[in-house]
Structure 1
Amino acid sequence: MVDQDHFLVIEDVYKSYGSKVILDNIDLKVSRSTFCTVVGPSGCGKSTLLRLILGQEASDSGKILLDGIPIGFADERRGIVFQKYSLFPHLTVLDNVALGLRLNRSAGLTNKEIKTTVMEYLARVRLDQHSSKYPHELSGGMRQRVAIVQALIKKPKILLMDEPFGALDPGTREDLQLFLLEHWEESKMTVFFVTHDLEEALFLGNRLLVLSQYYQDDRGSHKGHGAKLVADYHLKERAQPTEIKNSPRFIEFIKRIREQGFDPDLLQHARDFNLAHPDSFQTLTVDESRQ
């Protein structure tokens, strides 16, 4: 039965590489306009989950639906921004951003309309004065701004971001966090944001997903099991000032997430995961929970 109430549905999804299980019975429903941030220990499968949603890889089993339709291969419904900006070195900033619009002939935009639209987007990230430059003439932060605009200008239904600010200095990183929040509040785009930075995850998202291989269930030893969603939190509805990052409550929340998902000695049972978000659900197998 198709779930009409949720934009993204993932149910009973498993993913392995050879004999190594990466994702182990993942269940997730995401409503439209949600800003999901995803954290977890290194190697837990955060980027793998993102690639499944993108359609770059296929799951071993289970279902993934986007807008009620099986996910299929990557298409224009999904935008992607990687940590390593994927810009064409032989194209100017303007032409890099315009490329997606020019290839989308069904939009019927003239070259003048495309240029006007591109310049409007570049102005929002303060790059309109650099539109004629080539990628090698820009700083790392400026190149990442171009990559983000390159994805946003095509207005995907879901924007997937894989550690997009990981290589940037703190000031540039916070600047881009604020830009992304501003655009999300205006556009109400669904965002799926993978990061290793817990502070960034709590600051950006209105839903926090913790993916981890550190848990136990009734199958016995946790070793060899893939990662599950061990926590799913509903966060604030609207963007907050950057000062919130220094509040005791914020810092205590980070400590709690670190304990629940990053501590190999603190193994929650799968029945006890903190799946507090109203859209959260779980389908444990008989072997995983024999109660």
Structure 2
Amino acid sequence: MASCIIAYLGPMGSYTYEAAQAFAKDAQISDAIFEPCASITTVFSQENQKEKLPRYMIIPLENSTSGDVYETYKLLYLHAFRVIALKRLEIAHVLIGLVGSSCSKIKTVYSHPQALMQVTDYTKKRQLATIPYFSTADAVGFISKQKDLTIGAIASTAATNYYPNTLVLDDAISNNEHNYTRFLVLRAAADTSESAFFFEKSQQEAQLFLLFELEHDASGQLSDILTILFTFGINMTSIKSRPIEGQIFEYFFVVEALMTKLLSEQQQYEIFLQLQEKTARVIYNVY
């Protein structure tokens, strides 16, 4: 019997599927059920009806070339999420076509919008028409069912393993040769408007993933938040603000940080309580 479910964005052959496989390997999970999802929203909401098993969710957070995945941040705001890990995956885009085609024959390429943004130098140089598709792997699946040697897909080499009659026509086509995406590994998302504290384990250099919303009628709150983190020896590595959907120029914040001190669960909870006093809502994740 399977030990858990790992839900991920896209079909087999997508980059998120590669990240899901990497997580399973690192976590020494050999008998997981891999559950493909058509959208990030589905990753959060889809429940397995047959098995009552632990459920992990793998979603893209940001790319080093094209930036943040905005849908991910929007859904993180709407859910109480437990961060288990962050996985970094090298994104090596290639041009995929049908058997019998060649680079010179390709006139139009399909792929996920983020992937198309990451190969603009290549597509402009070759004057290729670009058509957005659901995911990189879905794009390969689409062209595999056609008989048109002039269409191709931008995806990973691994995608050709899952779709017959396809092959790599050109490689190393990304704008940036150092192209990486970070993926969040989450557990137990649930709709909530309340604050939440999640503590995975106490260890040196543990990671903090913090989401919070400030009271809108008070000043100096952001400074107060940063002071609390500094006081406990928490080294902030990233801070971002994102608009709250449905609100006019109101924002929530996401902070990533590194624990420079070994703090117990009780000490971490004290930080959470102090942050809670200074915010309208806070989701505190230590992993």
* TM-score between the two structures when normalised by the length of structure 2: 0.29
Higher strand share: 2
Higher helix share: 1
| Bigger relative contact order, structure 1 or 2 (CA pairs below 8 A, ≥6 apart) | 1
- Higher alpha-carbon Rg: 2
